[in-house]
Amino acid sequence: MRYLPHTEEDIASMLRSVGAEHMDDLFSVIPPDCRMGKALDLPDALTEWELNTLVEALAETMAVSPKYKIFMGAGSYDHYIPESVSYLLGRSEFSTAYTPYQPEISQGTLQAVYEYQTLTSRLLGMEVANASMYDGASALAEALLMAIRITKRKRVALSRLVHPHYRAVVETYLRPGGYEIVELPCLEDGRTDILGLPGMDDLAAVAIQSPNFFGCIEDLTEASKSIREAGAFFVTSFTEPLAYGLFKNPGCQGADIVCGEGQSLGIPRSFGGPGLGMFACRIKHVRSMPGRLVGKTNDREGRPGFVLTLATREQHIRREKANSNICTNSSLCALASAMYMASLGGTGIRELACLNYDKAEYLKRGLREAGCTVTFDSPTFNEFVVTFPKKLKYTYKKLLKQHIVAGVPLSTWYPELVDHTLLCVTETMGREDMDALIREMEL
């Protein structure tokens, strides 16, 4: 086996050094009734070349672009990733390193994460961002737990227009602690009804996603006023951070904690993971923040350098009293997103965000003209809810035959929205692809 370097001579000589005759003697402390007692029933080992064939065959069954035109977003977005980003990310000095516990030989990771924290803070309009969480869903759950810790209150409110899977994860995280979750209803225009919430006084936090699950841009400024007055934390969530290249960021609209999914920023969809949990807050709350942080300092000779800092918040020091149990995070994905943000630049992210918006508006117009109904009239970014002229089931199947995936049907999570689908277009969708979809409506 090419990953195991030991020759028979090596093994014999090492066994002599440790005073054992056979390798199995090394396990003599394990009682017989704890032993496997049989060979592992696994397929025979494959050669590198056989493995290629096997995995390629699995990959080929998957419906992906360009063979399929996939109008799906809903928390996972198709964006072009520059080859330079993939190439740099493959540098094994980054990918095969562990958590940077030895700063002298981890300055590459540390500076890159410090830069990620900075770019993330700027994108979200916040003062401090951590080194990442697992994904947008766990980031939201951790944000709410942070608000609960600080306010010492036990109730949180969650907009019904937060990604349904995120709400499910929040419930999983909060339920055993005995915390109560209340739901903010949805308005006719596809935005959250913040006034629909009576008695905010005992709330630890109110969480709203923008753009929300229906793609609509929420009025966070308006929401933040009433949430502030009640003394609750204003947590905003997101699944499509590219939107902040065009729209106001959550920080300038009064958010206390901003968290969400960074997959859009240079990370492939990979069937849903790994993603990137982005997490930012105000500096005054940094000691209650979960996750790792990289800080700037100097070495003994006064040269600038970076270290993991404020580690006393974390599990390896504070154990059961830690802010979070998180250890391994999504560091390499954070690097990918920093590389991507650096490649785009301020000018590029604006242009790309505009292009996403314009393409979605183009499709919206075309579908309307073809007899579809756009359900909500609030502004959107790159996804929106529609109903087709015919039953969704019928049109969806018909389109699938043309290798078009007509978005994400919503009735799974919103039973009242039968026949509604959530469509997404990004810069990867050409005008002719959108025209093809529109044409099908007219047939």
According to CB under 8 A, which residues from 104 to 133 bind other proteins?
104-109, 111-115, 117-119, 121-123, 127-129, 131-132
Burial (Cβ within 10 Å: 0-12, 13-18, ≥19) of residue 22: exposed
* Contact code string over 345-374 relative to other proteins, x by CB under 8 A: xxxxxxxxxxx-xxx-xx------------
- Which of 69, 163, 191, 420: binder of other proteins (CB under 8 A)? 163
**Which C-beta is closer to other proteins: that of 388 or that of 396?**
396
User: Residue 63 or 418: which CB sits closer to other proteins?
Assistant: 63
Residue among 350 and 390 whose Cβ is closer to other proteins = 350
Residue in 376, 373, 361 with CA at minimum distance from that of residue 186: 376
Q: Dihedral through CA 129, CA 131, CA 134, CA 135, nearest 10?
A: 40
* Closest CB to other proteins among residues 40, 443: 40
> Which residues are CB-contacts of 153 (< 8 A; sequence separation ≥ 6)?
202, 203, 204, 232
Query: Tokens 């015919």 correspond to what residue?
Result: 390
Q: Which CB sits closer to other proteins, 200 or 273?
A: 273
> Which residues neighbour 172 within 8 Å (Cβ) at sequence distance 6 or greater?
141
Chain centroid offset of residue 138 CA: 9
DSSP state of 266: T
Query: Apex CA 264: angle with CA 427 and CA 388, to 5°?
Result: 55
Structure tokens at 78: 């198709």
- Between 296 and 439, name the residue whose CB sits nearer to other proteins: 296
In whole angstroms, the minimum distance from the beta carbon of 198 to other proteins comes to: 27
Closer to other proteins by Cβ: residue 66 or 198? 66
CB of 281 to other proteins, least distance (A): 11
Pick from 144, 162, 203, 217: which binds other proteins (CB under 8 A)?
Answer: 217
Closest CB to other proteins among residues 352, 441: 352
The residue among 108 and 193 lying less far from other proteins, judged by its C-beta, is: 108
The footprint of other proteins on residues 410-439 (CB under 8 A) is 427-428, 430-431
Site for other proteins in 68-107 (CB under 8 A): 68, 70, 72, 74-76, 78, 80, 82, 84, 86-88, 90-107
Binding residue for other proteins, selected from 181, 200, 230, 310, defined by CB under 8 A: 310
Instruction: Decide whether 157 or 216 has the Cβ nearer to other proteins.
Output: 216
Q: Which is nearer to other proteins, 139 or 206 (CB)?
A: 139
Interaction of residue 222 with other proteins, rule CB under 8 A: no
Rounded CA-CA distance 83/94 in Å is 17
Find where tokens 């093809």 sit: 436
Quick one: which of 196, 231, 272, 371 contacts other proteins (CB under 8 A)? 272
Question: What are the structure tokens assigned to 393, written together?
Answer: 């089931």
Least CB distance from residue 187 to other proteins, whole Å? 16
Q: What are the φ/ψ torsions at residue 280 (nearest 5 degrees)?
A: -140, 150
231 makes contact with other proteins (CB under 8 A) = no
Least Å from the CB of residue 10 to other proteins: 4
Helix (H, G, I), strand (E, B) or coil at 60: helix
Q: Least separation, in Å, of the C-beta of 24 and other proteins?
A: 8
Q: Is 394 in the site for other proteins (CB under 8 A)?
A: no
Q: Is 279 in the site for other proteins (CB under 8 A)?
A: no
Helix (H, G, I), strand (E, B) or coil at 271: helix
Report helix angle 331-369 to 431-442, nearest 10. 40
For residue 351, what are its two tokens? 């242009």
Q: How far is the CB of 199 from other proteins (least distance, A)?
A: 25
Distance CA 249, CA 408 (A): 26
Task: Tell me the closest approach of the beta carbon of residue 408 to other proteins, in angstroms.
Answer: 5
Of 398, 394, 393, 397, nearest to 410 by C-alpha is 393
Count how many Cα atoms sit within 13 Å of the Cα of residue 45 in the half-sphere of its side chain.
5
Told to check if 286 binds other proteins by CB under 8 A, we report yes
Q: Does 236 help bind other proteins (rule: CB under 8 A)? A: no
Contacts of 103 (CB under 8 A, 6+ apart): 110, 305, 306, 307, 308
Which position among 148, 161, 207, 294 is part of the footprint of other proteins (CB under 8 A)? Answer: 294
Residue whose C-alpha is closest to residue 75's, from 185, 172, 168: 168
- Binders in 184-213 for other proteins, by CB under 8 A: none
Tell me the closest approach of the beta carbon of residue 200 to other proteins, in angstroms: 24
